[in-house]
Amino acid sequence: MGTSRLSDKAVARAVKGAMAAIGADPADYGGHSLRAGLATSAAQNGAEERHIMRQTGHKSVQMVRRYIRDGELFRDNVSARVGL
Angle, vertex CA 22, rays to CA 16 and CA 27, nearest 5? 35
| Domains contained in the chain, number | 1
Full residue range of the structural domain in which residue 64 is found: 8-70
pLDDT tens-digit series, residues 46-63: 999 999 999 999 999 999
Residue 84 falls inside a structural domain: no
| C-beta neighbour count of 84 within 10 angstroms | 7
Report d(CA 60, CA 65) in Å as an integer: 9
13, part of any domain: yes
Q: What percent of the chain has pLDDT over 70?
A: 87
Q: Which of 36, 46, 45, 44 is nearest to 68 (CA)?
A: 36
- 1 occurs within a structural domain: no
Between 32 and 13, where is the model more confident?
13
In a domain, 34, yes or no: yes
Q: Is residue 52 part of a domain?
A: yes
Residue 31 lies in a domain: yes
Q: Is residue 26 part of a domain?
A: yes
- 82 occurs within a structural domain: no
